Structure 1
């Protein structure tokens, strides 16, 4: 009997190790994947302006065209790995409720916008109420959706990116870790007064926060991890230039310095070879990504160089960092497959 129990234990241990190995192998394949999205487009109707929607009244961007541009940019810059699919687009005729229960009327909001004053505080939108109003939690749990996008306007109170659910962590916004879903999920907050560049910018900060967590922290002047070396820029990283950060390109001399013609030696293009880096450097300036929308083009250039190869690195992390940005439920805080 003892021998039978021992044999059974050994078999179970073997199967457990084997299952974990299969999980690691699957995680390391770097295959294209789909991200299913619910879009809640808060684009209120303004009765005093002929019943037109807010974005039309203020001559702002068409939210649908913004979403199309963002989806296209992310697919291209991820080498086809990230494929957003909008499962439902819901146009909402009213303003987003704030955390204290306040909701703008069309007249009040337009008065504030035209005078530049009188905005309500606290500004933060009530995310928890929104989850309830639009059945977000059950749709996350059923697998119908993976991510939620809030589309709104100035002073709607959105974080650029937030996370909710068990194990939620900071990605440049609030952390709603008490939300009772079976898995964590991301809420992106987009502003249709702005452009696609700012949407990709939001993803940039989400990426920085995610990778800083995976590598146990991040100081741009300390080149002690692969992420830190990737994000290095000559201005902040002791003269060493990698690809850059969301705010500062490899050659930048300040924040948002996307159109700087200064040329610096950078190993940015070498990151396309990751993990087989050669150390080769080339001259980099704003002409590498080009204009006229230097911010959008830089951020897509940045993301195109984000490691996306199959396999595990010798530092214990995946060679495909897109996995961590989107499949965060599958990994612990150091990038290892969860048991």
Structure 2
């Protein structure tokens, strides 16, 4: 498809006519939720599109399904952000806070050495006990709200507060809105040499190849 003259995806991207492609695809089309094509393409919740192709810039290809609801489509973009920030910071594990992405995505249920969560990840809200646990009314301590002050984060022991699904309306779509709304989006760059606005990397996946490039 990338090389199809009908769609001319690489040509349009190379000419600056498009920045990404969304393809609502039917059953058994074989599309990934999100993938990358172009030079330096990396894991994007799927392997990169293999060559040969003539794309000279990175282009996200999103593959939502018309058989699924809006929440599932946005879910795809959440995994895209997870993959992007993992590339920016070079790793991602639970039960560890070696960099700010791990701090943000920390989940207490997956991190026995921690007494609190960050903002969670796409499958696990801060108070989740298992995948897709978006309706859990149990509370857990979370410092997610502190990411509004990013990169000036306080001590989680002081900034964490109890959260439950009531904080996002106890729906999957509500949780995705909560999660995306808490992503750092401030001006400037932090001491780690990464932009304080993580949306820059989401919008331009090439920046994740050189995370300090948005910084003066």
Q: How does the TM-score come out when normalised to structure 1?
A: 0.59
Q: CA 1:152–1:176 in 2, change beyond 3 Å: closer, same or farther?
A: closer
Partner of 2:21: 148
Partner of 1:92: none
Aligned partners of 1:166 and 1:177 also within 8 Å: no
Aligned partners of 1:169 and 1:177 also within 8 Å: no
CA distance in 2, matches of 1:229, 1:332: 18
Q: CA 1:234–1:319 in 2, change beyond 3 Å: closer, same or farther?
A: same
Partner of 2:196: 319
Partner of 2:84: 210
Q: How does 1:248-267 map to 2 (within 5 A)?
A: 248-267=124-143
Secondary structure of the structure 2 residue equivalent to 1:235: helix
Partner of 2:152: 276
CA distance in 2, matches of 1:186, 1:192: 19
- Pick from 188, 200, 210: which aligns with 2:74? 200
Structure 1 residue 167 and structure 2 residue 40: aligned? yes
1:240 Cα offset (Å):
2.6
Structure 1 residue 290 and structure 2 residue 166: aligned? no
Which sections of structure 2, spanning at least 5 residues, go unmatched? none
CA displacement, residues 221-262 of structure 1 (integer Å, 9 cap, x when unaligned): 211110001001110122330100110000000010011001
Aligned partners of 2:36 and 2:44 also within 8 Å: yes
Higher helix proportion, which one?
Answer: 1
Q: How does 1:22-61 map to 2 (within 5 A)?
A: none
CA distance in 2, matches of 1:218, 1:333: 16
Partner of 1:190: 64
Secondary structure of the structure 2 residue equivalent to 1:132: coil
Aligned-residue Cα RMSD (Å) equals 1.5
CA distance in 2, matches of 1:173, 1:182: 20
Aligned partners of 2:20 and 2:59 also within 8 Å: yes
CA distance in 1, matches of 2:148, 2:29: 38
Secondary structure of the structure 2 residue equivalent to 1:151: coil
Which sections of structure 1, spanning at least 5 residues, go unmatched? 1-126
Greater Cα offset, 183-192 or 146-155:
146-155
Q: Which has the larger radius of gyration?
A: 1
Higher strand proportion, which one?
Answer: 1
Greater Cα offset, 136-145 or 247-256:
136-145
CA distance in 1, matches of 2:5, 2:82: 30
Secondary structure of the structure 1 residue equivalent to 2:187: strand
1:173 Cα offset (Å):
1.9
Secondary structure of the structure 2 residue equivalent to 1:201: helix
Partner of 1:226: 100
Aligned partners of 2:124 and 2:132 also within 8 Å: yes
1:132 Cα offset (Å):
3.3
Q: CA 1:270–1:210 in 2, change beyond 3 Å: closer, same or farther?
A: same
CA distance in 1, matches of 2:180, 2:23: 23
Aligned partners of 1:146 and 1:185 also within 8 Å: yes
Q: How many residues align?
A: 208
